[in-house]
Amino acid sequence: MHNPFTEVIDESTDLELIEQAKNGSREALEKLVLRHQAWIYNIAVRMVFHTQDAEEVTQEVLIKAITHLSSFQGESQFRTWLYRITTNHVLNMKRRGAERAALSFSGYAAAINETPDLDLPDPKSVPVDVHLLVEETKISCTAGMLLCLDREQRLVFILGEILGASDKVGGDLLELSPANFRQRLSRARRDLYRFMQGQCGLVNEANSCRCPKKTRGFIEGGHVDPERLQFVPRHLQSVAAATEGTVRTIEQSVGEHYAAIYREHPFLEPGDQAVWLRQLLDSDEFGKALRLH
């Protein structure tokens, strides 16, 4: 899989598709977007949590990128150009869905602790295997922890710790020096991992919180819907597999166990990507945006 966050990147395919798209090739434009769409979506879903909201965010980013593609003259890397659009958008977009709750770590801990420890659901009472519900609970809970970080911390953590962007690559995307990116990532790690160390049984056996014990409570609280799992059914591969070869060389031993939890999260595909993209290109909203540029 094409990985846009490697330190050294070959953009020859992107540049060829851009040139063809500028010359009117709809097929080239679709191919270009499909090379990057899932990566934008995987940033978005970790910023806003709900997959439906993430699809909206991804569409908003794509509209911006496609309508401004003619302005890309190759003076910078296409990776930098496209993912600056992405990062600027997710930092400045309106709050929606789960983000409206304005979570804090203390409030999140209280909500988890108030969720009762219960036996797992009767396998005959749910439409999917119980172990999938436990996995959905684990992913939902740890993804929810990201919402306790402020937007910039969350984005820096997504890029640097989950997707493995180096300090230079991450800094380029956020228009920061490598040293500043590294410092902000260190603060995000510190805040998140301190919370996990004191709360989460996945990283500290002394903590009583266990995903199987919380699964039924998450279902009854409306946080996990057995009829419509957000993460597990779309699990094609892990983030770690998708970003193979993108490895941070700084502070590798610090919090590696914590980071592994997030890198084992699913790398998601937004529905039927080709159909979704064609609907976008044919939409009135896109046509209106294109006419404005």
Average pLDDT, the chain: 91
Over residues 59-94, the pLDDT tens digits come to 899 999 999 999 999 889 999 999 999 999 999 999
More confident residue, 1 or 189: 189
3-state DSSP assignment of residue 10: coil
CA distance 15 to 95: 34
Look at residue 250 in the predicted model and tell me its pLDDT: 45
pLDDT at 11: 95
Per-residue pLDDT of 207-237, as tens digits, reads: 999 999 999 999 999 999 999 999 997 666 8
Would the pTM count as exceeding 0.85? yes
What span, in angstroms and rounded, lies between the C-alpha atoms of 261 and 146?
Answer: 12
Number of H-type helices and E-type strands within the chain: 14, 2
269 has pLDDT over 90: no
CA distances from 24 to 19, 29, 120, 204, 220 (A): 9, 9, 55, 55, 52
**Is 90 exceeded by the pLDDT of residue 281?**
no
Per-residue pLDDT at 235: 64
With bands split at pLDDT 50, 70 and 90, how would you rate the model's confidence at 270? confident
Contact 68, 101 (CB under 8 A): no
Tell which wins on pLDDT, 30 or 274: 30
What percentage of residues in the chain have a pLDDT greater than 90?
76
The pLDDT value recorded for residue 60 is: 93
Do residues 63 and 286 lie in contact, with contact meaning Cβ atoms separated by under 8 Å? yes
**pLDDT-wise least confident of 2-11, 86-95, 156-165:** 2-11
Question: What is the pLDDT, as a whole number, of residue 290?
Answer: 59
pLDDT at 233: 76
Question: What is the rounded distance in angstroms from the CA atom of residue 62 to the CA atom of residue 76?
Answer: 19
Of residues 175 and 251, the one with the higher pLDDT is 175
- Whether 10 has a pLDDT exceeding 70, the answer reads yes
- Whether 58 has a pLDDT exceeding 70, the answer reads yes
